[in-house]
Amino acid sequence: MMGYFPTEVRDDTVIVTLTNPDRNTLHLEVLEEGTDIFRELSENRPKGGIILTGAGEHFTCGMDTKVAASLDEAGQKRAVASIDAFAAALHRLPCALVVALNGNTIGAGGIMALAADWIVAAQGDYKIGLPEAKAGLPFPPVPQAILDHWLDPVWRRRLALSSHLLTPVEALSAGLADELCAPDQLIDQAMIRVKELNEQPGFAACKRQLRAKANAEIDAILG
């Protein structure tokens, strides 16, 4: 049975595709499988880096709110722990990580993008944002730490408190995308970027330095 994160290798780059027919939403099983996959990739880093994208029309529409609403207290605690672990696994990847946004990138999807080293977004009529306030799902500690370190404070206030969703063009100004490309060139462009990053002799060391404070904060959160 195919999992939620099927992978393929192309020229030493591992392409991971989030695949959940329900708008690529996230729930416990998705998060736990993703954590295992990215921890394994961290321990056995691909020579050509990693690309993370979504299947179909969405990158991810974030947490499955129906599932979240049905959880009891113990289930909610497990969900928060799973979100924290998944976000931490992405953020700690030692090799280059490029996120290729193929469609709607909502809530946790924005955190996944901010955990990357570069964000390539396909041009199109879709939305990118952090509507946790509207959904009634405050940011867990690790996603909040990622927000605090990698999203400009003004945009952090605007997006987190208003739940406003951005077009891909608007996301460039907010720092939720680094470049746009044609939809049919998305993976090819992501391949170019991940190789450019990963082939720099000092990339791994610079990434480690850049993320040291954030990773120390994440370590303290996870205990």
Helix (H, G, I), strand (E, B) or coil at 54: strand
Q: Output the CA torsion sign for 144, 123, 19, 211.
A: negative
Judge whether 53 lies within some domain: yes
| Upper half-sphere CA count for residue 48 (Cβ side, 13 Å) | 15
User: Over pLDDT 70: what percentage of the chain?
Assistant: 100
**What local confidence, expressed as pLDDT, does residue 96 receive?**
98
**What local confidence, expressed as pLDDT, does residue 39 receive?**
98
pLDDT tens-digit profile of 139-187? 999 999 999 999 999 999 999 999 999 999 999 999 999 999 999 999 9
**What local confidence, expressed as pLDDT, does residue 6 receive?**
98
> What CATH number does the domain containing 100 carry?
3.90.226.10
**What local confidence, expressed as pLDDT, does residue 142 receive?**
98
pLDDT band at 191 (very low <50, low <70, confident <90, very high): very high
Judge whether 2 lies within some domain: no
**What local confidence, expressed as pLDDT, does residue 73 receive?**
87
- Taking phi over 0 as left and psi of -120 to 50 as alpha, with beta for the rest, 85 belongs to alpha
| 84 contacts 140 by C-beta, under 8 angstroms | yes
**What local confidence, expressed as pLDDT, does residue 163 receive?**
97
Domain that holds residue 175: 7-222
**What local confidence, expressed as pLDDT, does residue 64 receive?**
87
pLDDT tens-digit profile of 6-38? 999 999 999 999 999 989 999 999 999 999 999
Residue 206: pLDDT over 70 = yes
Mean pLDDT, all residues of the chain: 96
**What local confidence, expressed as pLDDT, does residue 158 receive?**
97
Judge whether 112 lies within some domain: yes
pLDDT tens-digit profile of 115-144? 999 999 999 999 999 999 999 889 999 999
| Neighbouring-strand partners of residue 100 | 53, 120
| pLDDT (average), residues 46-56 | 97
| 185 contacts 124 by C-beta, under 8 angstroms | no
| 79 contacts 71 by C-beta, under 8 angstroms | yes
pLDDT band at 2 (very low <50, low <70, confident <90, very high): confident
| pLDDT (average), residues 94-101 | 98
The tally of domains found in the chain comes to: 1
Judge whether 205 lies within some domain: yes
Judge whether 1 lies within some domain: no
| pLDDT (average), residues 31-52 | 97
Q: Any alpha helices (H) in 163-202, and if so which ranges?
A: 168-174, 186-198
Tell me the pTM. Answer: 0.96
